[in-house]
Chain A
Amino acid sequence: MLAAIIMLIFICFCVHFQNTAGQFFSSGHTNNWAVLVCTSRFWFNYRHVANTLSVYRSVKRLGIPDSHIVLMLADDMACNHRNPKPATVFSHRNMELNVYGDDVEVDYRGYEVTVENFLRVLTGRLPPSTPRSKRLLSDDRSNILIYLTGHGGNGFLKFQDSEEISNVELADAFEQMWQKRRYNELLFIIDTCQGASMYERFYSPNIMALASSQVGEDSLSHQPDLAIGVHLMDRYTFYLLEFLEDIHPASKSNMNDLFKVCPKSQCVSTPGHRTDLFLRDPGSVLITDFFGSVRKVEITMEQPYLLKVQEKTYSYVDQLPVSEIIHQKPKQKDWHPPDGFILGLWTLILLVFFKTYGIKHLKHIF
């Protein structure tokens, strides 16, 4: 009897273990990446940088390391000379929360945030000398979170007041990523005016999209801070940040909770979402599938090899050897073959000469 009870308990435990193990593997991804882009320049667009940094902060807090985050900020607000509190970017009025923090790594900043660089990061077509921190090295088992914010319109998003990216380009970039198997599942969040127009054209599988406003609506900013003088955050991202602050790495909230963030009463605009391309049911997708991180740990028992090292005297160089500089020999210039102009000129001269004086003079030259 007792043995039967023990056996039953053990079987239950195994089943539970199996369930949690099964749940661990049901999402199918082995690593997480995040691409967070702020596309606006100039001091009055402080709120866009604050939006991006608050998502960056949440994503780092939930476990994604800096090496797996590509952060693109089009302008520097923290050390901007207009910022009354340098090295800080606040998201709440009265300077409650500094989303810039002390440990931030921005991969693309200033003029580097362009449509071309953004698309190259997504598709992986970067020049060979690009460092690792600027690459999206995802594979077919990566869940990627893409967050865009800035000024946008019906079907486009403005980059730095000088160029735009259209929804068709974005959809094609995602299709390229799908063809190259660069993602397992993709969560696309956009916080701009008329944001829903940006995800209308997606046609690749396994993409879930959220936007802060529908077509024809504007996304509004949240609250200004009188000491800093600009609006600090956009409404949608403000309530998204509040929602994410309650999430911890082991939390079980799913995407349906995320869709409920910022209803019309708080946001004034109507947030939208699109899940028809996504294969799994949104109710079974955990928030931490995209905002948190799965990490692989390799334990090795090997020891490193330590090798040994091995006369002439050295000396320092004169920093300003005046006599040497004055009497410097002319530099060895690399010899270049004469270019087309010089060759053409000489050909012309020779042609005229031989035309005038006849070909018989040739033997005197050679």
Chain B
Amino acid sequence: MHSYFWLLIGRWEATEVDEAALGDSAADKLGVRASDTFVLTPTPQPKDDFQEELVIRPLHSGDIYASFQFRTLWETDFMRENKVSHYRLFPKSLGQVISKFSVRELHISFTQGYWRTMQWGQPFLPSPPGAELWVWFQDSVTDVDAAWKELTNVLSGIFCASLNFIDSTNTVQPSASFKPLGIVNETDHRFLRYATLPREIVCTENLTPWKKLLPCGSKAGLAVLLKSEKLFHSSFFSQTVHIRPVCQDRECKTTSWELRQTLNVVFDLHTSGQGKREWSLFKMFSRTLTEACPLASSSKIYIDVTDNPQEEYFELSPATPLLSQAVVLGDRRTFSVYDLTQQVTFGTVRSLNLLIRWKSTEGDMLRPLLHAERYVAGYGLQTGEIHTVMYNNHPFRSFPVLLLDSVPWYLRLYIHTLTVTSKGKDNTPSYIHYQPSKDRMRPHLLEMLVQLPPHSVTEVTVQFERALLKWTEYTPDPNHGFYVGSSVISALVPSSVAMDTNITQEQPLFSSFFPCKEESSYFVRVYTEPLLVNLPTPDFSMPYNVICLTCTVVAVGYGSLYNLLTRSFQIEEPNPRLAKKIANFIRRIRGVPLLS
């Protein structure tokens, strides 16, 4: 029996519905009946947990840095035989991606803008401009390249980005960088793939599916603040997704899957702040908070007040008694905490609008210990030189950094011109791994482990030559230039404060991302700027010109010859005029010879 349901909004059509079910009352339809043929197994569901937090850090230049982190932990095993079929907080699209492609770790980031380390300090989670994707596959994968190709296509559909442009010409397999951030038995770099698309644009169409992955969507909790019109009117915007297996507890006998979605944004004093050093949630996001996400076990806002112990630089309202200390990026920072799960945070007006008002503009910033720049030197469209400059600002400690460079094949690097100099002297790297490029097949990969002397500047230079592309390989706007992805510098920077090596303790999310093995240093990743290089562009109208010219020459030349050779000429009597016709008629009657 068919039944039709009419709604004013749209036209709906239902398929067969059981007669028995229709006959019962509404309450029975939803409940479980003993007469059903299926059985509900009395086992506990895998535990999942969702936490959300927002960290706001006022920057010395007057800008403000807001970092959202949403973490879902789930005790399940995606790799076992029976497929996981019941999803609660963990998004189904990502769970299916993990099990189908046997992914052990997935890190994807979309960034607009470049992080200015010298003005803003170190970010909690670094990301390069454009799109970056790196994945560790499980040991059971036999063809990693095929899995990588399919994975990039699937992710391009999920995030509405053109990740399908990731292919062998911009994928590399780092040999020492990008070690797994999660639990793993052994690391064989054959299962690692890394690719970046520096040209990738980030806009609302990438934010929309990202927001839909959250358990509360953008309807409740901290995600209501994520409005695209304000977020993209900023100096820096980055959204990332990180999936990895983590320890559940201190003994680390079982693992659970962790999904972290982070969003970092830096609002500029002049474009978003109208020049006034006064920031509030409403001014930054054009929204205020009214409730925490009901599915979240913890929902907190942290404001960094380390530089403001006696409230001499800025004033924070509404005041909160909660204070917390955390060691993050090698420094002990103090935070004012707002707990959104407590109703008292929202006060009598039932909404929370944090206000940070500056009183004075003094105060100096903690200079970052590691900083890097990159630029192209040279002139003309044939050769050039890539310079990567790394600054070690520590006064007396030196530390090793691992530099990863992936240069597209159309910039042919001359590795014999590679020089690494610190303080004017040669500095030999203790490990170099170089994989030369193959035209149209794979890019250059250069990895070096360099020891940076204390308080020094290290410069890495390498010369290159530009190649000519085939005319179909140019983009529709070739005069914009071609991008070279950022260099990645991974380092263990000495820390002035003892870092916490137990990562499973209750810590704010922003300080527990990178695992710490020793107390005296912390791991940091710095990205340089991407380079924009002009390649010699041909005149694209030439094929059309050549075709026109050749066809004209052939038509005129051969055509005239053909006509001359094959045309036959006949003499034709012209038609006589009317006067002549009448005269000839009269002459015929008279019998006189006709006119010619």
Contact = CB atoms under 8 A, between A and B. Distances in A.
A229 to B, nearest CB: 17
A302 B38 contact: yes
A307 B203 CA distance: 40
A104 B229 CA distance: 13
B160 A105 contact: yes
B465 to A, nearest CB: 25
Contact of A319 (B14, B86, B179): B179
Contacts of B149: 129
Interface residues of B, number: 89
B449 A304 contact: no
B255 A295 contact: no
A106 B229 contact: no
Q: Among the interface residues B38, B162, B449, which one has the most CB atoms of the partner chain A within 10 A?
A: B162
Contact of A293 (B10, B82, B229): B10
A130 B251 CA distance: 43
A305 B38 contact: yes
Given A102-B204, A110-B162, A306-B40, A131 B252 contact: no
A63 interface: yes
A190 B85 CA distance: 44
B66 to A, nearest CB: 17
B5 interface: yes
A319 B43 contact: no
B317 to A, nearest CB: 29
B203 A305 contact: no
Given A162-B476, A318-B517, A319-B179, A325 B402 contact: yes
A326 B175 CA distance: 11
Contact of B9 (A79, A132, A249): A249
B476 A79 contact: no
Contact of B208 (A103, A108, A313, A319): A103
Nearest to A24: B11
B208 A104 contact: yes
A225 interface: no
Interface in B190-237: 199, 201-205, 208-209, 227-229, 231-233
Contacts of B475: 111
The A interface, classified by DSSP as helix, strand, loop or mixed, is loop
Nearest to A302: B38
A30 B491 CA distance: 59
Contacts of B514: 319
A250 B8 contact: yes
Interface residues of A, number: 71
A247 to B, nearest CB: 14
Nearest to B8: A250
Nearest to B173: A331
A105 B175 contact: no
B21 interface: yes
Contact of B449 (A293, A312, A326): A326
B14 to A, nearest CB: 5
Contacts of A109: 160-162, 201, 205
Contacts of A341: none
Q: Among the interface residues B75, B181, B476, which one has the most CB atoms of the partner chain A within 10 A?
A: B476
A297 interface: yes
Interface in A65-113: 76, 78-79, 85-88, 100-112
Contacts of A304: 85-86
A298 interface: yes
Interface string B338-359: 0000000000000000000000
Contacts, number: 208
A111 B160 contact: no
A309 interface: yes
A70 to B, nearest CB: 12
Contacts of A322: 400, 430, 449, 492
Contacts of A321: 179
B158 A311 contact: no
Contact of A106 (B182, B205, B490): B205
A303 B228 contact: no
Contacts of A298: 14-15
B491 A320 contact: yes
Contact of A306 (B5, B15, B86, B228): B86
A304 B203 CA distance: 37
Interface in B124-172: 149-150, 153-154, 156-158, 160-162, 164-165
B180 A325 contact: no
Contacts of A105: 160, 205, 208-209
Contacts of A106: 160, 205
A326 B180 CA distance: 19
A101 B207 CA distance: 12
Contact of A312 (B29, B77, B201, B253): B253
Given A302-B38, A319-B492, A295 B400 contact: no
Contacts of A30: 13
B204 A100 contact: yes
Contacts of A308: 41, 43-44
Interface in A145-184: 160-162
Interface in B34-82: 36, 38, 40-41, 43-46, 75-77, 82
Contacts of A104: 204-205, 208
A317 B184 contact: yes
A307 B43 contact: yes
B247 interface: yes
A18 B21 CA distance: 27
A79 B38 contact: no
B29 A79 contact: no
B198 to A, nearest CB: 13
A79 B112 CA distance: 9
A314 B175 contact: no
Contacts of B15: 296-299
A298 to B, nearest CB: 5
A89 to B, nearest CB: 10
Contact of A309 (B13, B46, B208): B46
Contacts of B477: 41-42, 161
Nearest to B255: A314
B187 interface: yes
Contacts of B181: 316, 319
Contacts of A201: none
Contacts of B41: 305-308
A91 B457 CA distance: 51
Nearest to A108: B162
A87 B32 contact: no
Interface string B466-498: 000000000111000000000000111000000
B569 interface: no
A253 interface: no
A120 interface: no
Given A41-B476, A302-B38, A328-B431, A78 B204 contact: yes
A158 B339 CA distance: 56
B17 to A, nearest CB: 6
B12 interface: yes
Given A111-B475, A130-B153, A160-B476, A86 B233 contact: yes
B379 interface: no
9 contacts: A79-B112, A109-B162, A111-B162, A129-B149, A314-B252, A317-B180, A317-B187, A320-B491, A322-B430
**Leading 9 A-B pairs by shortest Cβ distance:** A131-B157, A79-B203, A316-B515, A308-B43, A129-B153, A87-B232, A86-B232, A160-B476, A314-B183
Interface of B: 5, 8-15, 17-18, 21, 29, 32, 36, 38, 40-41, 43-46, 75-77, 82, 85-86, 112, 149-150, 153-154, 156-158, 160-162, 164-165, 175-176, 179-185, 187, 189, 199, 201-205, 208-209, 227-229, 231-233, 247, 251-255, 400, 402, 430-431, 449, 475-477, 490-492, 503, 514-515, 517, 523, 540
Given A162-B476, A305-B38, A311-B254, 18 more contacts: A79-B203, A88-B229, A104-B204, A108-B162, A130-B157, A294-B13, A295-B11, A296-B13, A297-B14, A305-B85, A307-B43, A307-B82, A312-B253, A313-B252, A316-B181, A316-B182, A322-B492, A326-B449
